[in-house]
Structure 1
């Protein structure tokens, strides 16, 4: 279960980064929001990795 959640988070971060990269050409507001979402997902994944180590 935990591995699947980590895998889903990685897919979500990659998807949001790709979406933000595509939206740079169209709208800056959506790009900023998607970048914030990707940063939050990356922070959550790092925190989960640190919790698993300890």
Structure 2
């Protein structure tokens, strides 16, 4: 219900600002490959694709 109201952008900006203040040099995000809305959102905030490959071990 909050989509398009800027809440996510404000939260992401705060997280980026916090990371910068703490001296972080990189932020890495994970989204599902089919979550195009999230990928578009992150691209709008300066994030770009990466060659990194996520790996997981399911324990259930």
TM class, shorter-length: 0.3 to 0.5
Looking at secondary structure, tell me which structure has more helix per residue.
1
TM-score normalised by structure 1 residue count = 0.43
Q: Which has the higher contact order (CA 8 A, sep 6+)?
A: 1
TM-score normalised by structure 2 residue count = 0.39
Structure with larger Rg: 2
